[in-house]
Amino acid sequence: MEFSGTFELEDTTVDEVWLALSDPVLVQESLPGCTFLLHVEGEEADFDELAEQASELDRELTNDPEVIAQRAFKEGERYAALMQVSVGPVNPTFETVVTIDERDRPRMDASGEGSSGDSSFEMSSSMALSETDDGDGVAVEWETQADVFGKVAGMGQRVINPVANRIVKRFFSSVQEELHDLGVGEVSTSDGDESDGRSLVDRVLGRSKSTDSE
């Protein structure tokens, strides 16, 4: 099943939003029901181990591009998330692994799968940022193709669309809030050249050159 939408973030820039969405910590904080979101080091994602790791980790939200750069999503890498999706009395917790298939500002593609007991899902998702027409904000166009299996599949048909819409809405509202609270991107985005010819921010932003802007 496919669903999509556009969410507009006010009073921000594509660079700022891109930076925010590059930060697993900010994404984790903004995703409703997400207990942790961590880079998967080895082949297998062991969720018990990851949970332990998450409890020991001391990561904080920041607006410091240096810090974000350290932990930013990387193309081709896998990330594990423990997500509880709450729909009334139905509250499955999904062990989810997502691969960043493509990360090329202003576009990111990811695919993943998750399971919870006898239920599971597979999804592929993409997101693109653009300046809004009034130039005052950023439009996030997103689309997701998801397949749901097992017990929740029958229920899925009915609830997935509105529930997904609600999760996305809450996610971006939180992102907007965090952007505002942290002042992400307020650090200049054009300082200091690096050895590979890309600025630090360029690297975080996944840009190949520091010249273009939308």
Nearer to other proteins, 69 or 159 (CB): 159
Q: Residue 151 interacts with other proteins (CB under 8 A)?
A: yes
How many Cα atoms occupy the beta-carbon half-sphere of 19 within 13 Å?
Answer: 27
Q: How many residues bind other proteins (CB under 8 A)?
A: 29
Residue 45 in contact with other proteins, rule: CB under 8 A? no
Query: Does 154 contact other proteins by CB under 8 A?
Result: yes
Burial per residue of 104-114, b for 16 or more beta-carbon CB atoms within 10 angstroms, e otherwise? ebbebbbbbbb
Q: Compute the CA torsion angle 58, 72, 51, 87 (nearest 10 deg).
A: 110
91 binds other proteins (CB under 8 A): yes
Does residue number 51 form part of the binding site for other proteins (CB under 8 A)? Answer: no
Of 22-41, binders to other proteins (CB under 8 A) are none
Among 54, 139, 159, 187, binds other proteins (CB under 8 A): 159
User: Per CB under 8 A, does 74 bind other proteins?
Assistant: no
When asked if residue 146 is in the footprint of other proteins (CB under 8 A), the reply is: no
**E strands present in the chain:** 2-10, 34-39, 78-84, 93-104, 107-116, 119-131, 137-149
Could you say which of 25, 51, 67, 163 contacts other proteins (CB under 8 A)?
163
- Label residues 131-161 b or e (16+ Cβ within 10 Å = b): beeeeebbbbebebebebeeebbeebeeebe
- Binding segment for other proteins (CB under 8 A), chosen from 51-59, 68-76, 149-157, 189-197, is 149-157
The rounded distance, in Å, linking the Cα atoms of 20 and 104 is 15
Q: Which residues bind other proteins (CB under 8 A)?
A: 1, 5, 87-91, 117-120, 122, 147-155, 157-159, 161-163, 165-166
